[in-house]
Amino acid sequence: MFLAADAPPETPPHTGGLLLLIDGTAGLLTIAALGIALLLFLIIKVRLQPFVALLGVSIAVGLGAGLSVTELFGTVQKSAAVSMIETGMGGILGHVAIIIGLGTMLGAILEVSGGAEVLSTRLLNLFGEKRAPLAMGVTGVVFGVPVFFDVGIFVLAPIVYAAAKRSGKSVVLYAMPLLAGLSMTHAFLPPHPGPVAAAGLFGVDLGWVILMGIVVGVPSVIAAWVYAAWIGKRLFVEVPQDMVEAAAESKAAVAAEQAASGTTPPERPVALGTVLAIIGTPLVLILLATFSSVALDPSPSSSTDSEQGIPHSSRSVIEFFGHPFVALTIALLLAYYLLGLRRGWSRGSLERVSTASLKPVGNILLVVGAGGVFGAVLKGSGIADALADTFNDVGLPVILLAWLISVVLRVAQGSATVAIVTTAGIVVPLVEGHGYSQAHLALVIMAISAGSIFASHVNDGGFWMVAKYFGISERDTLKSWTVLETVLSVAGFVVAALLSLVI
């Protein structure tokens, strides 16, 4: 059934700061509302970097809600005082940073080795000319698992140009299914920052997030493909010749850079099975570990799970290899060998590609960490309890609240990552300590993730990336991409909500 927050204690733990002027729950809610309004103002109007905005607002909210400086920052001297900022930042990054780092390096090796081109070409041949848009959509889903959204566009856009030019049809017909696949994986599936960060904040096993991401994401992306097919036949956009030329120049520049650094892939193409095996390995290992942990002993003294037939030793091995850190490390090592060393790359080349891929990750990790600080402040100040009390009185289920809050934050400021980490900071205390299962919490994460991609418009960098790479006017980008993201978001929420009724 739908999750609903239980009523928390009415008395907040702090009564200092601005609460001297506004007492009790009303004061805490006022502080929360002012904090979110300030966050949006700093990001939208002041154009402050989201990490700085989140950190600054967290401090302001904490002080306003009555937290002391010692509670927020600890003390200069080593003492028993615990810094809420350090705890919030370190708690989430300890889980997220390793997964995002390993996933980013894995995606870089797949990209540079030519795995994406092989994948798309084979799928286009398999589906045929008439089903080429569907082939582009499947390519987006599969290649979108290990690579970031913008990287996927950069690598796969030339293939969209070629397919549209060969058929003489609108570039929208081929681009939108691809973008739907990339966006779905970016929103719903690890190792992408949003779902990984939410899993860390909610304390949900990554296997459950992967499982629910697939269950929710697949029907959602199919709904988006249906809209993509409809709009692609009604909105004709020619192949952008300037971007075709720019892509060719960019490809030549990348090839020259690879040749200079010794990372040029051999002429022999990558095998499709190799690409699929590398992408699928961590997902399968993590899912196996998740379900092996469900097979609990019928009695503490039993050496095997007689009902499920899973020995302790076997389950320990499965859980070891299925831990996200281990599973992603195995996949990365496989990529190093199968896509790199076995095909003539030097160890130095692999190191350079891996190191270069980590450069853009710093901003993402800092934003996620600041989101952890924001959540810790909300919880420590008593604001989270006040929000839970209010939402419980309203009577809306948590999964609906999670989606609505994420939608509002997404539409207001444009960043999906900021929407996810901020929403999670608000929603986590509403479900904490109430005995909700991992599957239920994973569905709440899906609702938050779905809300974070709602109605991409002019304040979202992805909007302009789509318009630029595929030569679509702003008006037509609103008709195609913005509506596509809305369909994906609403479908994702509907599937997650329906599942929460039966799980």
Which tens digit of pLDDT belongs to each residue from 155-176? Answer: 898 889 988 988 999 999 999 9
- 333: number of Cβ within 10 Å: 12
- The torsion angles phi and psi of 240, rounded to 5 degrees, stand at -70, 105
406 within a domain of the structure (yes/no) = yes
462 within a domain of the structure (yes/no) = yes
* Under 8 Å between Cβ of 391 and 5: yes
Prediction pTM value: 0.84
Look at residue 94 in the predicted model and tell me its pLDDT. 85
Q: Find the angle CA(386)-CA(199)-CA(441) to the nearest 5 degrees.
A: 60
12 within a domain of the structure (yes/no) = no
Residue type, 122: R
- 13: number of Cβ within 10 Å: 12
Domain tally, the chain: 1
5 within a domain of the structure (yes/no) = no
Written as one string, the DSSP assignment of 346-383 is -HHHHHHHHHHHHTTHHHHHHHHHHHHHHHHHHHHHTH
The DSSP letter of residue 344 is T
Helix segments in 113-148, DSSP class H: 115-127, 132-144
- What residues form DSSP beta bridges with 305? 310
- Work out the mean pLDDT of the chain and round it to a whole number: 85
d(CA 142, CA 500): 26
297 within a domain of the structure (yes/no) = yes
pLDDT tens digit string along 446-475? 999 999 999 999 889 899 999 988 999 999
Name which of 52-56, 325-329, 393-397 the model is least confident about.
393-397
Look at residue 254 in the predicted model and tell me its pLDDT. 55
Name which of 124-133, 188-197, 339-348, 398-407 the model is least confident about.
339-348
365 within a domain of the structure (yes/no) = yes
Residue type, 441: L
287 within a domain of the structure (yes/no) = yes
pLDDT tens digit string along 58-103? 999 999 988 888 888 877 655 566 788 888 898 888 878 999 999 9
d(CA 262, CA 256): 10
Which structural domain range is residue 336 located in?
A: 17-502
Residue type, 245: E
* Under 8 Å between Cβ of 486 and 455: yes
Peptide bond into 300 cis (omega under 30): no
Q: Give the residue with greater pLDDT, 425 vs 232.
A: 232
- The torsion angles phi and psi of 340, rounded to 5 degrees, stand at -115, -80
pLDDT tens digit string along 291-320? 876 654 444 444 444 444 556 677 788 889
Name which of 10-19, 21-30, 135-144, 345-354 the model is least confident about.
10-19
pLDDT tens digit string along 373-396? 998 898 888 887 888 778 777 778
236 within a domain of the structure (yes/no) = yes
- 69: number of Cβ within 10 Å: 11
For 97, how many CA atoms within 13 A lie in the half-sphere containing its CB?
Answer: 14
